[in-house]
Amino acid sequence: MVSQLKFTRSEFKRGLEGLSEEDAIKRVGPANSISWCVGHLAWQEQRYWIWRLQDCEPIEPRLNQEFCYGCPASTPALTEMWEIWNRVTTHVEPVLDQLATEDLEMERQQGDVVFTAGDLMNRMIYHYWYHLGESLGLRQALGHTGLPDFVGDVETAAPFRRF
């Protein structure tokens, strides 16, 4: 599961390669800017792996106010969002790398919310793919060409493994 998340992250980055700061902040209709999506995914990484899984304080508190689900749309600088995304994902790597199948299956509770790390992992992976598709659609609407048009080399980078 962790290798699938890491592969998904790499595909998200691949889908945004070559995106200019100018185009990253553009909004098409009601869609969020692509730079906001980068911040939003950093928010979810922090929410799941730092707050939910470890019950620790956020390392980037700003994410909770500006990039949460339901937060107002904004057009932050792409470079800044990638810096924050990199800080959060680098911070959580050791935690993810230690997860065993038993950790993914173990039921946990935080307040009224009952979850497993596996549930969080699935939602995180699917959330990345959602925003990758959205971002590539926005890039197409902005006239970008030569974009990735299919999933990369998952067979090599994150092959199926039995739990």
The mean pLDDT value of the chain amounts to 94
Q: Rounded CA gap, 80 and 65, in Å? A: 16
Is there a domain that residue 162 lies in? no
Is there a domain that residue 163 lies in? no
Number of domains into which the chain is organized:
1
Please work out, in degrees rounded to the nearest 5, the angle formed at the alpha carbon of residue 125 by the alpha carbons of 123 and 129: 110
pTM of the model: 0.94
**Residue 161's pLDDT is what?**
78
Is there a domain that residue 141 lies in? yes
Q: Please give the average per-residue pLDDT across 141-160, as a whole number.
A: 87
Q: Please give the average per-residue pLDDT across 111-123, as a whole number.
A: 95
Is there a domain that residue 136 lies in? yes
**Residue 153's pLDDT is what?**
83
Could you list the residue range(s) of the whole structural domain that residue 15 is in? 2-157
% of the chain surpassing 70 pLDDT: 99
26: CB partners within 8 A, 6+ apart: 33, 34, 75, 138, 142
Is there a domain that residue 131 lies in? yes
Q: What is the CATH number of the domain that holds 85?
A: 1.20.120.450
CA dihedral 141, 147, 153, 154 (to 10 degrees): -20
Q: Is 38 helix (H, G, I), strand (E, B) or coil?
A: helix
Q: Report pLDDT digits (tens) over 67-88.
A: 999 999 999 999 999 999 999 9
Is residue 23 within 8 Å of residue 139, measured between CB atoms? Answer: yes
Q: Report pLDDT digits (tens) over 121-141.
A: 999 999 999 999 999 999 999
Beta bridge partners of 68: none
**Residue 100's pLDDT is what?**
93
Is there a domain that residue 114 lies in? yes
Q: Please give the average per-residue pLDDT across 30-57, as a whole number.
A: 96
Q: Report pLDDT digits (tens) over 4-29.
A: 999 999 999 999 999 999 999 999 99
Is there a domain that residue 10 lies in? yes
Helix pair 34-45, 117-141: axis angle to 10 deg: 170
Band (163; pLDDT cuts 50, 70, 90): low
Calculate the alpha carbon distances from 132 to 9, 80, 81, 95 in Å: 10, 19, 15, 24
128: CB partners within 8 A, 6+ apart: 5, 8, 9, 11, 12, 41
